[in-house]
Amino acid sequence: MKFIILSTILAFGLVSARPSFEERSIPAWHPPTRGDLRSPCPGLNTLANHGLLPRDGNNLRRAVVVDALKTGYNFDDALANGLFETGLTTNPEPNATWFSLEHLNTHGIIEHDASLSRADAYTGNNHAFNPSIFAQTSKYWTGATLTPTTMAYARIARELDSKVFNPEYAFDASREIQAWGESAIFTAALGNIQEGTADKNIVEYFFKKERLPVALGWKKQAVPVQNSDLAHITNLIGNVTGSVPVLLTPSENPLRSRGLHGLGV
Ligand code: HEM
């Protein structure tokens, strides 16, 4: 009898210790090593840390980026290709067919002030995860679930902080839409698209570790994520407050300011 109980416990232990299907289908996570390029984008850094993008963060070409966005987050073809094309705009070479994670650091193309987890370019480092900046954001994500309301409040808080403390602060109305889109994109990848909500623990894990939150029970969306999903969540967030005029600055180069996480949708 004792043997049966013990073997049942052992068997159960072995079964539950096996990695889930999600874990097995995603290459192992490693933090970046010396010389690896990383960006202000937690979504792409995560894919590089899992080896779905080249771990060195360099030479990101269309096929590899589109495939990584599908495998990692189940983004559909149109969304993945659109995001790749936005990334391309940061490579200064004419007619470039690739970009690196470091290209994304260039201030004023996609990268902007008042990020949720990065300091402003004015401070000298606009790309590394910054725990004190992220703590400010996270303070406004009250409750166990992020909602369009708390996402909008966290954005306003970051914009006010940058406006007050960054003498070079630049943030116009189209940056605002882009920035709502950045909250929309992590919600689309990690949370509930229809409601525009996401579990705070999962979101914090993703930002802080730049790792797919499989260990917390996260699974990529069952249905491919589309541009319209991003637009839907962006609208939910934007509808909470709209742009707050006092937080905006005069227009930057309009060709460089795009909507929806850089997508001109
Ligand atoms: C080819 C695809 C992508 C490109 C080129 C890209 C590029 C960028 C860039 C340049 C930024 C910096 C903006 C800033 O200054 O705050 C950024 C921010 C961000 N990205 Fe991406 N991204 C891509 C895909 C993704 C994906 C798939 C996710 C989520 C799963 C994601 C989530 C975010 C978030 C949440 C931010 C805001 C970070 C913050 O405010 O601190 N991105 N992205």
pLDDT in the model for residue 21? 55
Query: In this structure, which amino acid lies at residue 1?
Result: M
Mapped to the 3 state alphabet, what secondary structure does 201-233 carry?
HHHHHHHHHCCCHHHHCCCCCCCCECHHHHHHH
Question: What does each of the 265 residues of the chain score in pLDDT, given as a tens digit?
Answer: 343 443 433 333 344 445 555 656 789 999 999 999 999 999 999 999 999 999 999 999 999 999 999 999 999 999 999 999 999 999 999 999 999 999 999 999 999 999 999 999 999 999 999 999 999 999 999 999 999 999 999 999 999 999 999 999 999 999 999 999 999 999 999 999 999 999 999 999 999 999 999 999 999 999 999 999 999 999 999 999 999 999 999 886 544 545 546 554 4
Give the predicted TM-score (pTM) of the model.
0.91
From ligand 1's centre to the CA of 186, what distance in Å? 9
All residues at 6 or more sequence positions from 26 whose CB lies less than 8 Å from its CB, including other chains: 50, 52, 71, 72, 212, 214
All residues at 6 or more sequence positions from 204 whose CB lies less than 8 Å from its CB, including other chains: 138
Residue 69 neighbours by CB distance under 10 Å:
25
- The class (CATH top level) of 36-247 is mainly alpha
From ligand 1's centre to the CA of 240, what distance in Å? 22
Nearest CA to ligand 1 atom 30: 43
Query: In this structure, which amino acid lies at residue 39?
Result: S
Nearest CA to ligand 1 atom 5: 87
Q: How far is CA 265 from CA 82, 200, 234, in A?
A: 9, 27, 11
Phi/psi for 192 (5° steps) reads -100, 110
Nearest CA to ligand 1 atom 6: 41
Mapped to the 3 state alphabet, what secondary structure does the chain carry?
CHHHHHHHHHHHHHHHHCCCHHHHHCCCCCCCCCCCCCCCCHHHHHHHHCCCCCCCCCCEEHHHHHHHHHHHHCECHHHHHHHHHHHHCCCCCCCCCEECCCHHHCECCCECCCCCCCCCHHHCCCCCCCHHHHHHHHHHCCCCEECHHHHHHHHHHHHHHHHHHCCCCCCCHHHHHHHHHHHHHHHHHHCECCCCEEEHHHHHHHHHHCCCHHHHCCCCCCCCECHHHHHHHHHHHHHHHCCCHHHCCCCCCCCCCCCCCCCCC
Nearest CA to ligand 1 atom 32: 43
From ligand 1's centre to the CA of 86, what distance in Å? 11
